[in-house]
Amino acid sequence: MKLLGLNLGGFFSQVDDFTQNHLDNFITEEDISRIKDWNFNCLRLPVDFHFFENQKEPYDYIEERLKKIEIVLSWAQKYDMKLILDLHKAPGHTFETREDNKNTIWRNNSQNRKRFLKIWEFLANRFKDQDNIIYELLNEPVALKDHFWYDLAEEAIKIIRNIDETHEIIIESNLWGKTDCFNNMPLFKDDKIIYSFHYYQPHWVTHQMAEWISFYVKNIHRKKEFYPGKIELPSEKYNKLGDNFYLKRFKEELGYHWDIEKMKSTIQPVIDFKEKNNVPILCGEFGVVAKASPIVRKNWIEDLMFIFKENKISYTYWTYKNMDFGLFDFTEKYDNNPNYQNEKRLDEPTLKALQEGAF
């Protein structure tokens, strides 16, 4: 299966207030038509559980919001595109490191685990007759032990397959979709599983100056970085990282010259898993924050696209619009940003690089 496309981040996920104006205008059919004209065949639709679940009455789902999802599905169907229904935030789970105490989903028999499984039972019943849907169980799982996540995924797969034997299911590797977690990725006994990862390495480049990232918040690193290039920190800054479980992934990226060869070496566990098991692979998210210079964005995307094309890895870029990584950006925050210096507010070099990554 070949999936080449974009995320629709910030539409039904990571939104403070789902106003009617936002729901009617953030993404329209015109956007889907444009994405199709760019020769993409897939959309990844991140959806937070609280978008459609009644927060006062768990297990009660909001019909009006579900119909919004169905509208996007119908647009994708009209333009002959697959749509990945990504449960971006789930009850009892967060990929935000500062909120890791909320991750009760891994506890057997917890109420949030039951809610998660019930959500997938409901969604499978709701969408089983949609030709173009793909289910993505959970965005960026963060479990202290890999098997916590894979055991839960196995439960969810069984529930879905009791209802829907047809559609593909995406399973992402543990720890935010880390590539090296493919070393412990199980091969599920289901021939319609797509194995997924996210790629933002090195974060010092892809998330440079991002005000939410921990090394910025802690004033460890607040400067521009280049790609290709070597990432280094003064010892006093490095020591501030400590031995935190979540900051470990950032420490692992330091001291190396990052280029296409280094990039490929970090993706090698995914490539090995793909070749050994002959299974489809998707990179569900990747990108460089708009605070990086245009040449850094371009160089990083071009190298990653070369690796994806060479190894026939499907992809959905993060993201179509706004959200600090968008191909388009219409926010005041990036009003004078050099990545969007045309009337369309479109990062054309990144779009071109994505299109050239098609295999």
Catalytic residues: 140, 285
Amino acid, res. 115: R
Asked if 204 contacts 216 with a C-beta cutoff of 8 angstroms, the reply is no
Q: Is the dihedral of CA 234, 228, 351, 32 positive or negative?
A: negative
* Distance of alpha carbon 338 from alpha carbon 340, whole angstroms: 5
Q: Which residue has the tokens 């989903």?
A: 105
- E runs forming strands in the chain: 4-7, 42-48, 82-89, 133-136, 169-172, 193-199, 229-230, 257-258, 281-286, 314-317
* Distance of alpha carbon 264 from alpha carbon 306, whole angstroms: 10
Amino acid, res. 308: F
Q: Smallest Cα–Cα separation from 135: which of 143, 145, 126? A: 126
In eight-state DSSP terms, residue 12 is: B
Asked if 41 contacts 2 with a C-beta cutoff of 8 angstroms, the reply is yes
Distances (CA, A) of 125 to 136, 171, 326: 15, 19, 33
In eight-state DSSP terms, residue 173 is: P
Q: Which residue has the tokens 């850094």?
A: 296
* Distance of alpha carbon 281 from alpha carbon 112, whole angstroms: 29
